[in-house]
Amino acid sequence: MTKPIHVEATIEERGINIIVNGCVLPIVYPSRVWQAYPQQLKEVLRDNIALSSTYFVPQILGKNYIAYNTSRPISEAFLFKNGIYDMPNSALTDGVSSLSYIKKFINTVATFQNNDIHIPAIDTHRHYPKEESMVIPFTFGKDSLLTVALAQDIGIRPHLVYFIEPAHLYEYQHKKRLKKSFSNKTGLVVEEVKYEPGKMRYGGLWNKETELGWGLQTTEYALMTLPFLYFYDAAYIGIGNEYSCGEAGLNAEGVLTHWTGYDQHPDWTSQQSLLVSLVGGASRRVVSLVEPLHEIAEVAILHRRYPKFGQFQTSCLAIGQGAEENRWCQRCEKCGVMYTFLKALGVDVKQTGFTEDLLDKNHIKLFNNLFNSKEPSLFYAVEEEIYLAMYMARRRGCDGEVLRVFAEKILPKFKQSVEKYSQEFFSAHTTNNLPNDISKQVLQIYNEELDKIRLEIKEFT
């Protein structure tokens, strides 16, 4: 067995320090929120975050032994399932064997200072928190913006928390500016948590390149919202897992692979609810208000019903060339897809921050994996979904090299399926994790808005 990786975790005045082989990585909360959180709950949270933030470090560093100075956390079994099901997806992105990643994951040994698993006593005064309040891990992406707007629409008070991720080079500088304007126009405050353990994502702390480290993100965020849930006495954590997050299949090695990551799969949401309830000592529920929707439907409802929120959308991680000056880098597939969705729906792309025409010949490379790849699953979006968006954009009078190639290569066959796919992508599907009263309210909103769009598409034909 190799020399162990040493992880310490300490409770500080403003949060928790995660210390990996002597490197101090703070997690910093708003002072009033952290100070209000009881000491016993802080200790339990520390033990669990120490594990969740470092769970993939042994694999990233090629080690098989990690030693913690904390108590064994209750999240260990939860994180193991989350992690093992994430391995094939991380391997796919990294271009390696999923079986090799699974083997390394299983062969990693973790030890703890003591094996006593601490669970806080249930606080009977907070066992049934206020159901009209929801804490939302907020990103300015379409899903979190729509979640906020929907929560307000159905009478749930949203509390927004933005986790500052250092792995995304320019993302925060853009969102910091958006945050000020957003608060002025909506009256909502976006609180922040500085998450320095994020330096380990992508293997960035060690100058490595890997997808390992992202597969527990939504589970980590659910845990890290606990001080806010306590502070606001909130019943819900609102996540942004859309319908396509439930897609899974066998990869080339015959291994079940959750294409968008297992932590966003609807099967995992109820487990997250149980985990945060146990760690936080009160009954909580993790829900996704957008669970029944495909991406293009989310964009449609956000910009048509809630344009006050839609204008702040940014779904680019702002990593590559062009990202420093613009909130959309306009160089990645995700930018290309969102731009096409907006054009398909008749939304003013300049109002949402785009400065270039992503359908022109200079940006055709953004769609190479869609038009040329033998494996269209490598493209960011569901291929039929983006084809439908391109069809709609053309019918609205949009042009450009991207749409010309689409018309030449795809449209002759695809136009026979327009009605089928408009029904698929502009309908509300099943909800697995929403309480019945909330489900009824959001489905009514969805059906109202999506019926209008399907009618528009019929008029195109």
For 403-440, the pLDDT digits (tens) are: 999 999 999 999 999 999 999 999 999 888 899 999 99
- Other CB atoms within 10 Å distance of the CB of residue 209: 8
The pLDDT of residue 167: 80
Q: Measured in whole angstroms, how far is the alpha carbon of residue 277 from the centre of its chain?
A: 21
Backbone angles phi, psi at 352, to 5 degrees: -95, 10
pLDDT in tens, 346-398: 999 999 999 999 999 999 999 998 888 655 455 777 899 999 999 999 999 99
Q: Which residue has the higher pLDDT, 199 or 326?
A: 199
Rounded distance between C-alpha atoms, residue 20 and residue 7, angstroms: 5
Average pLDDT, the chain: 93
Token pair recorded at residue 31:
């002072």
**Each residue's pLDDT tens digit, 153-178:** 999 999 999 999 998 778 888 888 99
Amino acid letter, residue 13? E
* 14-49 confidence digits (pLDDT tens): 999 999 999 999 999 999 999 999 999 999 999 999
Domains and CATH numbers, the chain: 5-116+125-288 (3.40.50), 316-460 (no CATH)
Write down the H helix ranges in 62-170. 75-94, 98-106, 142-153
Q: How far apart are CA 74 and CA 166, in angstroms?
A: 27
pLDDT of residue 279: 96
Q: What is the pLDDT of residue 141?
A: 95
Cα gap 319→66, rounded to integer Å: 30
Q: What is the DSSP letter of 114?
A: B
Angstrom distances, CA of residue 161 to CA of 122, 134, 184: 25, 11, 17
DSSP state of 294: -
pLDDT at residue 1 in the model: 61
Contact of 176 with 23, CB cutoff 8 Å:
no
Task: Classify burial at 425, counting beta carbons within 10 Å of its beta carbon; exposed 0-12, middle 13-18, buried 19 or more.
Answer: buried
Rg from Cα positions in the chain = 22
Torsion (CA) 51, 53, 54, 59 in degrees, nearest 10: 120
Residue 262 CB-half CA count within 13 A: 23
Q: What is the pLDDT of residues 96-152, one digit of tens each?
A: 999 999 999 999 999 999 999 998 876 655 555 777 899 999 999 999 999 999 999
pLDDT given at position 67: 98
| pLDDT tens figures, 276-318 | 999 999 989 999 999 999 999 999 999 999 999 999 999 886 7
- pLDDT, tens digit (0-9, with 9 covering 90-100), for 53-78: 999 999 999 999 999 999 999 999 99
141 and 315 Cβ atoms separated by less than 8 Å? yes
- SS3 state of residue 162: strand
For 129, the token pair is 């928190």
Say what the pLDDT of residue 125 is.
Answer: 55
The confidence score (pLDDT) of residue 223 equals 98
The mean pLDDT value for 246-268 works out to 94
